[in-house]
Amino acid sequence: MANIYKLSRSPAGNMLVLIAAFTFIVLALALFGLGYLRMLGSSSEQKTAIEAAALAAAREVSNIVIDTPEFGFVGVSDSAPTGTVTQAGDTFFTPVHSINTLIGTARLDLLIADQLGVAELEELALNDLTAAKVRAQELVDTIEVSLAPSGTAQDKDGANVTPYVAAEQAYKQNQIRMTGSSNYVAGSLQLSLGALASGGPTNVPIPQPAGSDASLGGSNTVAGNYKSYTNIPYKGTDFVFAGIGDSVKIVDQKQYVDTLALPYFYRTIIRAEAQQQVNDSGLNKSGTLKAVACAQPASVYDPKPYPGALTISFPDGMPTGPQTLANPMAIYGAPLDNGSAQSDFYTSDVGDYPTDMGSQITTSGGWPISSDTNQLASNACKIAFYDWLKRAGTKANVNSVIGMHSTPFDPQGADVPWGPAAANLGSIPRGIVHIYRFDTDGLISYQSQDQKPMPYYVVSHSQAFMESFDVLSNGAPNLVKGPITLPSAFLTWPTATSNGQITFTGAYDLYVRIYSHRPGRINGGKHAGEPMDNAVVAYGGPSVNRSISLSLVRPGVSIFETSFSGVGAQGKKWWKKGQVGFIGAPPGLSARDDFASLPGGGIDTNPIKYEKYDYTGGGVRKTYTENGSVADIRFRRVLQIANLDVPTEKEFAYVGEK
Looking at the domain assignment, is residue 557 inside a domain? yes
**Mean pLDDT on 384-397:** 97
Q: 129 and 176: one domain?
A: yes
The per-residue pLDDT for 489 is 46
Q: 514 and 575: one domain?
A: yes
Compute the distance between CA of residue 363 and CA of residue 347 in angstroms, rounded to an integer.
6
Segment among 2-11, 63-72, 573-582, 648-657 with least mean pLDDT = 573-582
For residue 447, give the H/E element and its range: strand 444-451
Digit-coded pLDDT (tens) for 287-314:
788 999 999 999 998 888 999 999 999 9
Q: 380 and 286: one domain?
A: no
DSSP state at residue 503: E
Q: 516 and 411: one domain?
A: yes
Compute the distance between CA of residue 400 and CA of residue 208 in angstroms, rounded to an integer.
9
The per-residue pLDDT for 189 is 97
The per-residue pLDDT for 364 is 86
Q: Does residue 633 sit in helix, strand or coil?
A: strand
**Average pLDDT for the chain:** 85
Distance of CA 11 to the CA centre of its chain: 93
**Mean pLDDT on 548-564:** 34
The per-residue pLDDT for 562 is 24
Q: Kindly indicate the confidence band of residue 557, based on its pLDDT and cuts at 50, 70 and 90.
A: very low
Q: 196 and 272: one domain?
A: yes
**Mean pLDDT on 569-573:** 35
What are the residues facing 310 on neighbouring strands?
436, 631
Does 583 have pLDDT greater than 60? no
The per-residue pLDDT for 420 is 64
The per-residue pLDDT for 467 is 95
Q: Kindly indicate the confidence band of residue 414, based on its pLDDT and cuts at 50, 70 and 90.
A: very high
The per-residue pLDDT for 421 is 61
Domain boundary among 296, 325, 340: 296
Share of the chain residues as helix, strand and coil, in percent rounded to the nearest 5: 25, 30, 50
For 247, phi then psi, to 5°, come to -155, 155
For 312, phi then psi, to 5°, come to -120, 115
**Mean pLDDT on 324-336:** 96
262 CB neighbour count, 10 Å cutoff: 13
Distance of CA 477 to the CA centre of its chain: 42
Which residues 6+ apart lie within 8 Å of 397 measured at CB? Answer: 208, 209, 441, 442, 443, 444, 552
The per-residue pLDDT for 537 is 92
Q: Please state, in angstroms and as integers, the Cα–Cα distance from residue 134 to each residue in 103, 116, 140, 348, 517, following that order.
A: 11, 28, 10, 28, 19
Q: 348 and 208: one domain?
A: no
Domain boundary among 296, 322, 357: 296
Instruction: For strands 96-98 and 72-75, give the pairing.
Output: parallel
Q: 112 and 220: one domain?
A: yes
Looking at the domain assignment, is residue 439 inside a domain? yes
The per-residue pLDDT for 624 is 94
Segment among 1-10, 169-178, 402-411, 643-652 with least mean pLDDT = 1-10
Looking at the domain assignment, is residue 61 inside a domain? yes
Which residues 6+ apart lie within 8 Å of 98 measured at CB? Answer: 74, 75, 76, 77, 78, 244, 299
Q: 274 and 333: one domain?
A: no
The per-residue pLDDT for 528 is 98
Helices (H) and strands (E) in the chain, counts: 7, 31
Domain boundary among 273, 296, 319: 296
The sign one gets for the Cα dihedral 252, 254, 255, 256 is positive
Looking at the domain assignment, is residue 3 inside a domain? no
Segment among 140-144, 302-306, 366-370, 391-395 with least mean pLDDT = 302-306
> In the chain, how many domains are there?
2
Q: Kindly indicate the confidence band of residue 560, based on its pLDDT and cuts at 50, 70 and 90.
A: very low
Three-state helix/strand/coil letters over 83-132? CHHHCCCCCECCCEEEHHHHHHHHHHHHHHHHHHCCHHHHHHHHHHHHHH
The per-residue pLDDT for 650 is 76
Looking at the domain assignment, is residue 646 inside a domain? no
Three-state helix/strand/coil letters over 543-612? ECCCCCCCCCEEECCECCCECCCCCCCCCCCCCCCCCCCCCCCCCCEECCCCCCECCCCCECCCHHHEEC
Compute the distance between CA of residue 541 and CA of residue 556 in angstroms, rounded to an integer.
10
Rg (CA), the chain: 36
The per-residue pLDDT for 478 is 96
Digit-coded pLDDT (tens) for 348-370:
999 999 999 999 999 988 999 99
Compute the distance between CA of residue 348 and CA of residue 603 in angstroms, rounded to an integer.
14
**Mean pLDDT on 362-385:** 95
The per-residue pLDDT for 499 is 75
**Mean pLDDT on 421-426:** 68
The per-residue pLDDT for 487 is 57
The per-residue pLDDT for 152 is 98
Looking at the domain assignment, is residue 218 inside a domain? yes
Does 592 have pLDDT greater than 60? yes
Alpha helices in 477-542 (DSSP H): none
Digit-coded pLDDT (tens) for 464-480:
999 999 999 999 999 99
Compute the distance between CA of residue 571 and CA of residue 574 in angstroms, rounded to an integer.
8
For the range 567-570, what are the long-range contacts, defined as Cβ-Cβ under 8 Å and sequence gap of 24 or more? 567/346, 567/353, 567/361, 567/459, 567/465, 567/467, 567/511, 567/593, 567/594, 567/595, 568/467, 568/592, 568/593, 568/594, 569/344, 569/467, 569/469
Q: Kindly indicate the confidence band of residue 182, based on its pLDDT and cuts at 50, 70 and 90.
A: confident
Q: 320 and 405: one domain?
A: yes
By residue range, what is the domain housing residue 339?
Answer: 309-473+507-581+619-636
For 238, phi then psi, to 5°, come to -85, 140
Digit-coded pLDDT (tens) for 15-62:
555 555 555 554 544 444 444 444 444 556 778 999 999 999 999 999
Looking at the domain assignment, is residue 28 inside a domain? no
Q: 51 and 142: one domain?
A: yes
Q: Kindly indicate the confidence band of residue 658, based on its pLDDT and cuts at 50, 70 and 90.
A: confident
Q: Please state, in angstroms and as integers, the Cα–Cα distance from residue 448 to each residue in 150, 351, 578, 651, following that order.
A: 58, 31, 39, 32
The per-residue pLDDT for 213 is 97
- pTM for the full predicted model: 0.88
Segment among 38-47, 273-282, 447-456, 594-603 with least mean pLDDT = 38-47
The per-residue pLDDT for 25 is 55
Which residues 6+ apart lie within 8 Å of 578 measured at CB? Answer: 491
Compute the distance between CA of residue 480 and CA of residue 611 in angstroms, rounded to an integer.
31
More confident residue, 641 or 512: 512
**Mean pLDDT on 70-84:** 97
**Mean pLDDT on 398-427:** 86
Q: 182 and 112: one domain?
A: yes
Compute the distance between CA of residue 76 and CA of residue 113 in angstroms, rounded to an integer.
27
Q: 154 and 267: one domain?
A: yes
| pLDDT over 70 percentage in the chain | 81
For the range 612-616, what are the long-range contacts, defined as Cβ-Cβ under 8 Å and sequence gap of 24 or more? 612/352, 612/355, 612/457, 612/458, 612/532, 613/90, 613/352, 613/458, 613/460, 613/527, 613/532, 613/533, 614/533, 615/533, 616/90, 616/91
Q: Kindly indicate the confidence band of residue 615, based on its pLDDT and cuts at 50, 70 and 90.
A: confident
Looking at the domain assignment, is residue 499 inside a domain? no
Compute the distance between CA of residue 344 and CA of residue 546 in angstroms, rounded to an integer.
35
Contact (CB, 8 A) for 250 and 48: no
Does 565 have pLDDT greater than 60? no
What are the residues facing 42 on neighbouring strands?
none
